Amino acid sequence: MTQSTSLPTGAADAADPRPRSSARQLMAASIGNAAEWYDWYAYSFLAVYFADRVFPKGSGNSLVPLLSTFAVFAVGFFMRPVGGLQMGAIADRRGRRAALTVTILLMGGGSLLVALTPTYAAAGVLAPVVLVVARLIQGLSVGGEFAASTTFLVESAGPGRRGLFSSFQYVSTTLGQLLASGIATLLAHVLTEEQMGGWGWRVPFLIGAVISLVGFWIRQGARETHEVERRTDARPALFEALRRHPRESLLICGITAGGTLAYYTWTTYLPTYAQVNTGFDKGDALLAGTISLAFFAALQPLGGLLSDRVGRKPLLIGFAVGFAALAVPLLHAISDTFVSLLLVQCAGMILLTGYTSIAAAVNAEVFPARVRAAGIGFPYSLTVALFGGTAPYLATWLKQSGHPEAFPWYVSGLCLVSACVYLVLPETAQRPLDR
């Protein structure tokens, strides 16, 4: 049996001379992660502004450019399993910090490429090609980011604090999303519709490229949490986690399915859902999303702390059962009023915290340290691609097909499937983490 190569207790300082500092570790993971997800989410928030600039309209149907833009959004997600596997392997073979450095540089490059994407009128088919390439680069980066930062955060935690540290995965993710939403909202209120469609949508992506450079610099000061095997032939193979731990890989898929669909529906697509289904004002929809995201970020540490006390399963089951029962009435409750959208978003955020605040800890506790990053990265990113990345496109397509009522039932049903997985999931909160 292959012995784990992760740092045993007390070995961190021998492997990395940087001082032990929980705050510094949290900052290194969180700021870089926020930069990653700012770049990723800026695309979905601004899609309604640049869709018809990059994609031509088809036979008078105004939803065609938006559908095409969300299709590219989904394409980016399908690079995430590749990124999860490749960057996860780098994290297991060369250390978590090395993988985190690569992912932040890839994301910054992809963001810059989106900002420089030409319009269809200026470059023809080259315009959507450039956009697709940029999203593929970003998808590779984001897939690797979750694998590396999840293991880095949880391995940096002290005894009885894995849930709390885990919550900073989505605190930083939400802060990045909040920054993207806030900048998009500010631009939407300051600039005219014509200015936003002409050049305003490019500004957030340029800002994202700069933020990624800052995140890269901060991550250089992080302390490594995983001791790398010196002999190259003794390091884990690319598919070792899948070969030796097939049950754990399937478990990650079941844990993630309902959570990722609910997450991307509530935190990313809901403003667009309100615009498409109720004629909601674009600027007001972005403002409601920004307020609810700030509320969501504040909830995450509370969920993490609670899970360290009562366990992971009660929170997971509460999330899944809550969404299975309430997804349909909540989405049907959205009207053309600002208050209705804000209340629906905040109600969903409370339920969603049962999953997001502890997802990193639950995933990390499933795999041994030797293959933890790659073991998490591939099945998690594949599941997110299948169910999270396709959510905006599927919801928009159902609206175009005349069946908008089907999407809320889809969310409810998949959360029910995950609820069944959570019921048989072993409780891991009090178990020592494999080192």
Tell me the backbone φ, ψ of residue 5, rounded to 5 degrees: -105, 10
DSSP 58: B
CA neighbor of 143 nearest in space, from 185, 89, 64: 89
| The predicted structure's pLDDT at residue 168 | 92
At how many degrees (to 10) do helices 338-356 and 162-190 cross?
A: 150
Q: What is the pLDDT along the chain (435 residues), one digit of tens a residue?
A: 344 343 433 344 444 544 456 777 888 788 878 887 888 778 877 877 887 788 776 545 555 566 677 677 667 777 888 888 888 889 888 888 888 889 989 989 999 999 999 988 888 888 888 888 888 898 888 888 888 888 888 888 877 889 999 999 999 988 988 888 788 888 988 998 888 888 999 999 999 999 888 888 888 877 887 777 666 656 787 788 888 889 999 999 999 999 999 998 898 788 778 887 777 777 788 788 888 989 999 999 999 999 999 999 999 999 999 999 999 999 888 887 889 899 999 999 999 999 999 999 999 998 888 889 889 989 998 898 889 878 877 888 888 888 888 899 999 999 999 999 999 999 988 888 866
Q: How far is the C-alpha of 225 from the C-alpha of 221, rounded, in Å?
A: 13
Map out the domains of the chain with their CATH numbers.
17-225+245-424 (1.20.1250.20)
Residue 61 DSSP symbol = B
Give which of 51, 148, 64 is closest to 105, Cα–Cα: 148
H or E, element range at 293:
helix 282-310
Q: What pLDDT is stored for residue 290 in this prediction?
A: 81
Q: How far apart are the first and last CA of the chain?
A: 15
**Phi, psi dihedral angles at 380 (to 5 degrees):** -65, -50
Tokens found for residue 37: 């997800």
Distance, C-alpha 331 to centroid of its chain: 22
With H, G, I as helix, E, B as strand and everything else as coil, classify residue 9. coil
Long-range contacts of 113-122 (CB under 8 A, 24+ apart): 113/137, 114/43, 114/138, 114/205, 115/202, 115/203, 115/205, 115/206, 115/208, 115/209, 116/202, 117/50, 117/54, 119/53, 119/54, 120/53, 120/54, 120/55, 120/56, 121/53
List 58's β-bridge partners, or say none: 61
Structure token pair of residue 254 = 């079941």
Which residue matches tokens 């999203």? 135
Q: Kindly report the number of other CB atoms within 10 A of residue 60's CB atom.
A: 6
Q: What's residue 379's pLDDT?
A: 92
Report how far residue 221's alpha carbon sits from residue 87's, in angstroms, rounded to the nearest whole number.
19
Sequence-separated contacts (24+) of 61-69 with Cβ below 8 Å? 61/400, 63/276, 63/396, 63/399, 63/400, 66/272, 66/276, 66/396, 67/393, 67/396, 67/397, 67/400, 68/128
**Closest of 88, 101, 106 to residue 40, by C-alpha:** 106
Its pTM stands at 0.80
Give the model's pLDDT for residue 2: 40
Residue 193 token pair: 């519709």
Distance CA 13, CA 292 (A): 41
Cα(14)–Cα(209) distance, integer angstroms: 35
d(CA 20, CA 152): 14
Q: Is 159 helix (H, G, I), strand (E, B) or coil?
A: coil
Which ranges of 311-337 does DSSP label H, i.e. alpha helix?
A: 313-332
Separation between Cα atoms, residue 185 and residue 189, nearest integer Å: 6
